């Protein structure tokens, strides 16, 4: 027993210490910062709830938070809806090729996210590929570019980035479905589409939920994509956090806004764990 | 899959989505050889001058070496810590295991902007005059990568019976001897794969690095800083093409490694 405890300690202490000191402690310090009056001396040591009041008074911040939630929601819904048929095809129709086809789908997801967003910046830019193509094809007139630097451009780019990640949990949920259930449905006189809506779809809901959160959680905190393709109308909540830390140097207010974001994500995870039979391990993709 | 299925609606949809995923990347690669200052249709002619210019850009080469060094060092640390955790959680039950798993899953689900600013606050609280550097970025990359490394190693070990280790100890090996001569060799492909996936993540990482970087640049930071100058765009696109091709090769290699020597039932399932 003593031996086993020593082994566990030797294995677990280094990673646990790293995570506690360099992941958990920073979150606690962030919480402490949120009660400060200012970033630099001498306001540092003052304890105040002024930053929270500032946040509550700033309706523009609330609007951006809602906008971020909305963008993340739309992106996540589009991702799972677009990914579902891919996952279905791979799980039920692709037979022995499914692993190869799945890998083909996943490879782009491993390419630098910044570069994939850059690709969309190049495609959507004012003299970009899409618009220069549409102009030379005579489909739109010069000077009226579409999808440029807007919220829609952010949505398109984010859907592009996240589709493979949404497809994975849906695919593994579909794979877990016992095929005999579908045979039974057919034997009992169920038409294929009926079997889909009454057997396959309900059984794949955990995968859909996982896919949704898989996309929603990172998307709601986005700031890089809006910076690159969003323009003014595409600004998201993460952009304000970034701005408060880098340009405005208002760290206490930035800490409050980060904590709001953190709370939002933690609430979602609580909901997710409730909705999902396998809990966090679904989200971790394990 | 039979030939008939290749023209099924399911396959056509799959092919369409695959095209959607690859087209933007392919366009970047095509345009990296385009002999024009702007990225517009029609294509102007073939050139490799952007690549030559790229090799002649000092800051870019520096950023590349920084990224490689950062990737190697941070991935070694993340892989070592993730491997320890992966072995611990897959081979032992201990008090606090659930709490540890919850903590170790958190970096997977917390927006990177929050992880980045929280670490910035930690460093500035420890020492307000602390110079941010590649080291501080590396700390952030290790935090992001520990969960992935742990999961990759744990899922590999879950496929192997713990009796293998028990047998070794029954035959007189010490626990640490068994770890070195049984557990680690079993986990080896996953460990390499964990290292490669950490390296790829670190090499590409931007959102956390941005808050923790000092005066040096990593490749993504350099790339981002150059986006302000439209005249630099062709150069950036050439750089992007190189990174894309390199990461595709790395990913395929790492995926192949994860399949090496798995027990038969698992391979079939995958």
Q: Give, for all 270 residues of chain B, the pLDDT tens digit.
A: 555 556 788 889 999 999 999 988 888 888 888 777 766 666 677 777 888 888 888 888 899 999 999 999 999 999 999 999 999 998 888 888 889 998 998 888 888 889 999 999 999 888 888 888 999 999 999 999 999 999 999 988 888 877 888 888 888 778 888 888 888 888 888 899 899 889 988 988 898 999 999 888 999 999 888 887 877 888 888 888 888 888 888 777 777 776 665 554 443 333
CB-CB neighbors (< 8 A) of B119 in chain A: 22, 26
CATH of the domain at A94: 1.10.3720.10
Instruction: Please check whether residue A270 lies inside any domain of the structure.
Output: yes
Instruction: Please check whether residue B7 lies inside any domain of the structure.
Output: no
Question: What does the alpha-carbon distance between residue A274 and residue A182 come to, in Å, rounded to a whole number?
Answer: 27
Q: Which pLDDT value is given to residue A126?
A: 60
Question: What does the alpha-carbon distance between residue A260 and residue A244 come to, in Å, rounded to a whole number?
Answer: 14
Confirm or reject contact between A31 and chain B (CB < 8 A).
no
Question: What does the alpha-carbon distance between residue A246 and residue A257 come to, in Å, rounded to a whole number?
Answer: 14
Q: Which pLDDT value is given to residue B58?
A: 87
Q: Which pLDDT value is given to residue B80?
A: 96
Write out pLDDT tens, residues A84-103: 999 999 888 877 888 888 88
A residues 124-153 near B, CB within 8 Å?
A: 125, 127-129, 132-133, 136
CATH of the domain at B255: 1.10.3720.10
Instruction: Please check whether residue B173 lies inside any domain of the structure.
Output: yes
DSSP string, A130-157: HHHHHHHTTSS-TT--SS-SSHHHHHHH
Instruction: Please check whether residue B32 lies inside any domain of the structure.
Output: no
Question: What does the alpha-carbon distance between residue B187 and residue A144 come to, in Å, rounded to a whole number?
Answer: 57
Q: How far is CA A148 from CA A98, A130, B40, B59, in A?
A: 37, 10, 15, 31
- What is the residue range of A129's domain? 51-283
Confirm or reject contact between A45 and chain B (CB < 8 A).
no
Confirm or reject contact between A269 and chain B (CB < 8 A).
yes
Instruction: Please check whether residue A9 lies inside any domain of the structure.
Output: no
Cβ within 8 Å, pair B125-A29: yes
pLDDT averaged over every residue in chain A: 84
Q: Which pLDDT value is given to residue A187?
A: 84
Region of A38 on the Ramachandran plot (φ > 0 left; ψ -120 to 50 alpha; else beta): beta
Q: Give the minimum alpha-carbon distance from B166 to chain A in angstroms, rounded to a whole number.
A: 13
Q: Which pLDDT value is given to residue B264?
A: 44
Question: What does the alpha-carbon distance between residue A99 and residue A120 come to, in Å, rounded to a whole number?
Answer: 28
The domain tally of chain B equals: 1
The domain tally of chain A equals: 1
Instruction: Please check whether residue B175 lies inside any domain of the structure.
Output: yes
CB-CB neighbors (< 8 A) of A124 in chain B: none
Instruction: Please check whether residue B47 lies inside any domain of the structure.
Output: no
Instruction: Please check whether residue B49 lies inside any domain of the structure.
Output: no
Percent of chain A with pLDDT over 90: 26
- What is the residue range of B128's domain? 58-269
Q: Which is more confidently placed, A170 or A217?
A: A170
Q: Which pLDDT value is given to residue B140?
A: 96
Q: Give the minimum alpha-carbon distance from A161 to chain B in angstroms, rounded to a whole number.
A: 8
Confirm or reject contact between A18 and chain B (CB < 8 A).
yes
3-class secondary structure per residue, chain B: CCHHHHHCHHHHHHHHHHHHHHHHHHHHHHHCCECCCCCCCCCCCECCHHHHHHHCCHHHHHHHHHHHHHHHHHHHHHHHHHHHHHHHHHHCCCCCHHHHHHHHHHHHHCCHHHHHHHHHHHHHHHCCCCCCCHHHHHHHHHHHHHHHHHHHHHHHHHCCCCHHHHHHHHCCCCHHHHHHHHHHHHHHHHHHHHHHHHHHHHHHCCCCHHHHCCCCCCHHHHHHHHCCCHHHHHHHHHHHHHHHHHHHHHHHHHHHHHHCCCCHHHHHHC
Instruction: Please check whether residue A145 lies inside any domain of the structure.
Output: yes
CB-CB neighbors (< 8 A) of A117 in chain B: none
Confirm or reject contact between A1 and chain B (CB < 8 A).
no
Instruction: Please check whether residue B8 lies inside any domain of the structure.
Output: no
Whether residue B190 contacts residue B160, with contact meaning beta carbons closer than 8 Å, is answered with no
Q: Does the interface predicted TM-score (ipTM) exceed 0.85?
A: no
Instruction: Please check whether residue A262 lies inside any domain of the structure.
Output: yes
Instruction: Grade residue A257 by pLDDT with cuts at 50, 70 and 90.
Output: very high
Q: Which element (helix H / strand E) includes A248?
A: none
Instruction: Grade residue A14 by pLDDT with cuts at 50, 70 and 90.
Output: very high
Instruction: Please check whether residue B37 lies inside any domain of the structure.
Output: no
Question: What does the alpha-carbon distance between residue A129 and residue A147 come to, in Å, rounded to a whole number?
Answer: 12
The neighbour count for residue A273, using CB atoms within 10 Å, is 16
Instruction: Please check whether residue A5 lies inside any domain of the structure.
Output: no
Instruction: Please check whether residue A255 lies inside any domain of the structure.
Output: yes
Q: How many CA atoms lie within 13 A of B61 on its CB side?
A: 8
């Amino acid at each position: 027993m003593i031996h086993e405890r020593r082994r566990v300690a030797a294995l677990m202490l280094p990673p646990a210490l790293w995570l506690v000191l360099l992941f958990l402690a920073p979150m606690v310090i962030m919480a402490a910062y949120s009660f400060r009056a200012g970033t630099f001396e001498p306001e540092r040591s003052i304890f105040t709830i002024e930053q929270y009041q500032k946040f509550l008074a700033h309706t523009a911040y609330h609007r951006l938070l809602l906008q971020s939630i909305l963008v993340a929601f739309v992106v996540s819904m589009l991702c799972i809806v677009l990914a579902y048929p891919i996952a279905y095809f791979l799980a039920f129709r692709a037979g022995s090729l499914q692993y190869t086809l799945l890998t083909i789908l996943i490879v782009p997801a491993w390419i630098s996210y910044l570069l994939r967003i850059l690709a969309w910046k190049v495609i959507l830019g004012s003299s970009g590929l899409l618009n220069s193509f549409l102009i030379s094809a005579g489909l739109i007139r010069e000077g009226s570019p579409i999808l440029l630097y807007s919220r829609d451009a952010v949505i398109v780019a984010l859907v592009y980035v996240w589709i493979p990640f949404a497809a994975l949990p849906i695919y593994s949920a579909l794979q877990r479905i016992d095929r005999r259930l579908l045979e039974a449905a057919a034997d009992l006189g169920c038409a294929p589409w009926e079997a889909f809506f009454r057997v396959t779809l309900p059984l794949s809901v955990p995968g859909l939920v996982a896919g949704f959160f898989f996309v929603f959680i990172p998307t709601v905190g986005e700031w890089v994509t809006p910076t690159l393709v969003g323009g003014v109308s595409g600004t998201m909540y993460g952009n304000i956090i970034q701005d408060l830390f880098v340009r405005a140097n208002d760290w206490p207010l930035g800490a409050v806004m980060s904590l709001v974001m953190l709370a939002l994500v933690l609430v979602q995870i609580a909901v997710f764990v409730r909705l999902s039979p396998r809990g966090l391990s679904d989200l971790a993709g394990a | 899959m039979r030939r008939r299925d290749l023209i099924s609606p399911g396959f056509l949809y799959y092919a369409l989505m695959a095209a959607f995923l690859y087209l933007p990347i392919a366009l970047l690669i095509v345009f990296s050889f385009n002999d024009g200052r702007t990225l517009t249709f029609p294509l102007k002619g073939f050139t490799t001058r952007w690549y030559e210019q790229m090799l002649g850009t000092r800051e870019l080469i520096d950023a590349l070496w920084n990224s490689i060094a950062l990737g190697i060092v941070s991935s070694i640390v993340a892989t070592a810590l993730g491997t320890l955790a992966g072995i611990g959680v897959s081979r032992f039950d201990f008090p606090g295991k659930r709490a540890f798993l919850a903590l170790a899953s958190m970096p997977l689900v917390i927006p990177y902007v929050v992880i980045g600013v929280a670490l910035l606050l930690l460093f500035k609280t420890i020492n307000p005059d602390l110079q941010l550097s590649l080291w501080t970025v590396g700390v952030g990359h290790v935090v992001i990568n520990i969960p992935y490394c742990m999961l990759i190693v744990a899922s590999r070990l879950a496929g192997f019976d713990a009796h293998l280790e028990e047998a070794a100890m029954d035959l007189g090996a010490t626990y640490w001897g068994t770890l070195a001569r049984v557990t680690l060799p079993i986990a080896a492909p996953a460990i390499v794969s964990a290292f490669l996936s950490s390296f790829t993540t670190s090499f590409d990482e931007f959102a956390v690095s941005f808050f923790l970087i000092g005066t040096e640049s990593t490749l993504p930071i350099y790339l981002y800083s150059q986006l302000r100058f439209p005249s630099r765009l062709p150069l950036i696109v050439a750089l992007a093409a190189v990174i894309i091709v390199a990461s595709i090769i790395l990913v395929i290699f790492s995926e192949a490694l994860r399949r090496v020597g798995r027990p038969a039932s698992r391979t079939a399932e995958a």
